[in-house]
Structure 1
């Protein structure tokens, strides 16, 4: 988990034993980035009154200056919203030497209950968001609320209208699993501008369902877990779908993969962030699973096989009634052209394509591309008209 959230929960446990409340601390949060900033919105650093710090904002570029500002904020209680860039003349030429621009909110936290509730939910693996007022004419930045899928669960901004809007809009971002910035009018109305709210979303890890019991599947399960996926290995053959062969899978399911995926979809345990990889090399398992997967709204559906295998598979899927628009979503032969042949090299190729598709990357070498290194999400990916893509 986030080390800052770990520290908040640890302070809560210490306070409960001693009967005291946690001491005030300063919280620095990345609220916006432009171009190739090192870390995205939601990155945090906690600074205590004794000067000790937990967490990181930019990997070391501006931490020393933010630390000094945090101690100032602890002393006077006045929040600071500061922006750093490559050539900024801030605090003795402090800047992002690696490129990009980052905006950081530094605030004093006297009562961490909202942050603590957010941390509890993250620790429990429950989807949640921390919505924080970043800037607003006439208002003090830093007011925050914790939001779950069903709406507001803790805190308040001081505006009932804004709280009601955030209960709905931040919950939509939680459902989508995406951090974003929302904008409102000064009175909390959705039609206006002037009030910025960072909605930092913590969603459970995205799922990856791997069908097949090959060495390639074992390598994919290992690397996918390292990349942050919760990996389910599924195959109908109990002699091969074993923990000994797949030690890195989070769960192993002995079942026909098509039946398992259909049941997970019906139970709501699969969402639009889920990836399905078909590595079985057996049409009687491959094709029923692909028929189910391609009919769902999933992040990625890929299948291993040669180009001839892929062509034959497409013909049979058409015969099964899979429509052309669904077939167009199938990534096969799955993987980027890295030239590797071993199971681990193949797993790297496959997961490189998964990452590229999820992040809308090109898969091309950075030496032949131009523009920002990081891809922003499109505004229409977030179901709220106030979402603003940073230029």
Structure 2
């Protein structure tokens, strides 16, 4: 539920009744994992998803029933342990099943929802008819974009849509504006390497992308980034630029081991050229890197599980636990 905070809080503010349907257990395989949530209002506005489509209608009906009765509702969507199909759903397309619980969202959830909307780590405990539903959400992974040109604007949009808390930094106040980067959590006017050096909370869930297109700025910024705990460091540039920049970084004291961390040219080869297509390729490389994936098409992966466990950067659903209260 916490991943839906931006949509649920306005409903609470307006006094609109809303129920959430949360996955508490996955049997065999399912499109989304434990903690995934669909919300529905009394007027049948649907927010989020628990299965990507195959049992959404049943989840909506279960949520509406929880709203109508004011009671907690539970169900299994998909196949039972003995392989038969449950009466309430035709079954998940992937052949698995999910156990779900439906409950009304009330003011008790507000503090955790506000923390989740702000990108902070949070935990929500709900007591549901003798059972405790515990939802946790990690702080949003960070994307720090150094440079505020058109490629940076596109990367900010795509990164924010992918769930990153985005910071944009440029020394030009004319470029680094809230109007140009409305999706960013922070827009900073500063020399990129000085701003990066001032941050004390960089970690393995931080991605730094240098898009300044100015060696006077990107070399010192990369020197700081490559010596930081950031889990991903990338820089845009043509191959000739990459080679020239690498030489300048070595001259600036960057070691070969540090330089080996640099993703440059930045992005996967998707064949696109526009700022938006480039941004998509950059986010794709960051996600592949954080999950230690090879970025091959899924159809080439043979019998490998499609819904593998996430890497060190938690998925958008966070985690969920159910136990006796």
Instruction: Give the shorter-chain TM-score range.
Output: 0.7 to 0.9
**Distance between the aligned counterparts of 1:117 and 1:248, measured in 2?**
23
1:101 aligned onto 2:34: no
Describe the shift of the 1:283–1:32 C-alpha distance in structure 2 as closer, same or farther (beyond 3 A). farther
Cα drift, residue 64 of structure 1:
4.2
2:323 paired residue number: none
Describe the shift of the 1:13–1:216 C-alpha distance in structure 2 as closer, same or farther (beyond 3 A). closer
1:365 paired residue number: 297
Which TM-score applies when normalising by structure 1?
0.63
Describe the shift of the 1:325–1:125 C-alpha distance in structure 2 as closer, same or farther (beyond 3 A). same
From 258, 267, 272, the equivalent of 1:340 is: 272
1:187 paired residue number: none
Unaligned runs of 5+ in 2: 321-325
1:128 aligned onto 2:122: yes
Greater RCO, CA 8 A, separation 6+: 2
**Distance between the aligned counterparts of 2:118 and 2:172, measured in 1?**
33
- For 1:204-215, what aligned pairs fall within 5 Å after superposition? 205-215=140-150
Deviation string 1:167-206 (CA, Å, 9 cap, x unpaired) is xxxxxxxxxxxxxxxxxxxxxxxxxxxxxxx543153x43
1:310 paired residue number: 242
Deviation string 1:76-131 (CA, Å, 9 cap, x unpaired) is 9686463625975111662112x25342232556x956434423433455421225
**Distance between the aligned counterparts of 2:176 and 2:19, measured in 1?**
49
1:18 paired residue number: none
1:148 paired residue number: none
The question of whether the paired residues in 2 share the 8 Å contact of 1:57 and 1:63 is answered with yes
Describe the shift of the 1:4–1:229 C-alpha distance in structure 2 as closer, same or farther (beyond 3 A). closer
**Distance between the aligned counterparts of 1:5 and 1:241, measured in 2?**
25
2:152 paired residue number: 217
2:212 paired residue number: 280
The question of whether the paired residues in 1 share the 8 Å contact of 2:167 and 2:186 is answered with yes
**Distance between the aligned counterparts of 2:84 and 2:144, measured in 1?**
46
Cα drift, residue 73 of structure 1:
11
Which TM-score applies when normalising by structure 2?
0.74
Deviation string 1:2-60 (CA, Å, 9 cap, x unpaired) is 55885587458749xxxxxx9xx975311244676233322224578x79675442244
**Distance between the aligned counterparts of 2:153 and 2:87, measured in 1?**
50
Deviation string 1:351-378 (CA, Å, 9 cap, x unpaired) is 2212222343322222222323333125
1:19 paired residue number: none
1:143 aligned onto 2:78: no
**Distance between the aligned counterparts of 1:76 and 1:250, measured in 2?**
37
The question of whether the paired residues in 1 share the 8 Å contact of 2:26 and 2:99 is answered with no
From 297, 302, 325, the equivalent of 2:257 is: 325
2:171 paired residue number: 236
The question of whether the paired residues in 2 share the 8 Å contact of 1:35 and 1:372 is answered with no
- For 1:161-200, what aligned pairs fall within 5 Å after superposition? 199-200=135-136
Q: How many residues align?
A: 310
Unaligned runs of 5+ in 1: 16-21, 135-139, 145-197
State the secondary structure of the residue aligned to 2:131: coil
Larger radius of gyration: 1
